[in-house]
Amino acid sequence: MERFTEKVAIVVGATSGMGEASAYRFADERAKVLVVGRREDKGQKVVEKINKKGGIASFLKADISKQDDCRKIMDTAVERYKRIDVLANIAGIHISKGVEDITVEEWDYLMNTNLKSFFLLCKYAVPYLKKTKGNIINMSSMVGIVGQSNSCAYSASKGGITIMTKNMALDLAKYGIRVNSVNPGWIRSELVEDWFRQQGDREQEQRDYINSIHPLGRIGGASEAAAAIVFLASEDASFITGIALPIDGGVTLGY
């Protein structure tokens, strides 16, 4: 399929996991991709892989917890590619602490990175998306719907993204801009692998347990999440806005 010919997709958090997989998928469908992340070495590798396959991509190093960097992302996309059709906000961090243990500094850092940054990215993208009747995909989480223990700030940030997305969908529909969130469960990624490694001697036990709680019997792959992200950004989803799409193998059905 080539659903994004002549269109421009910004993928924020594209140096690993679901963001990286989404960048490849957009490029495969002929989008021009701005690969955004903090790790230049990994970002350049993503770009090289896309360009070697005949796609069009470039990298921009940015820290989305900084307001100026959020604005720079949009300016750079328009400078290089003349337009913006898709903003895919896929970056984020996790701090595994409950309300008693997380510090105020940790709370602020996570909220700035996970939630405030998405507000800023959307804010600065909207003037350009009005011109193209483009769309926004925000990365939330299953915990933005059902919550999770030992995850105070992370759950709050993802819940905020889910509801902010619905608000933006209402506000921006009159301009032809669609806004949706994806709410993944357990997806193979650096973040999830790091969590498993932190389990020490119980690593394999926890892997087996996490797989077992999914009705489909396994956690998901980054490419499976990317397929949903790219679908929502495409014209195949032209009458879909304001949804929170679980990509979770059914795990939240009994969570």
Task: Return the active site residues.
Answer: 154
Q: Is 101 left (phi over 0), alpha (psi -120 to 50) or beta?
A: alpha
Q: Which of 173, 178, 204, 233 is nearest to 22 (CA)?
A: 233
* Pair type for strands 178-184 and 56-61: unpaired
For residues 22 and 57, give the distance between their C-alpha atoms in angstroms, rounded to a whole number.
13
Strands (E), 38-169: 56-61, 86-89, 135-139
CA distances from 252 to 96, 148, 164, 184 (A): 19, 11, 21, 10
For residues 160 and 145, give the distance between their C-alpha atoms in angstroms, rounded to a whole number.
10
* Pair type for strands 32-37 and 86-89: unpaired
For residues 77 and 213, give the distance between their C-alpha atoms in angstroms, rounded to a whole number.
41
Rounded to 5°, angle at Cα 213 from 252 and 96: 70
- Gyration radius of the chain over CA positions: 18
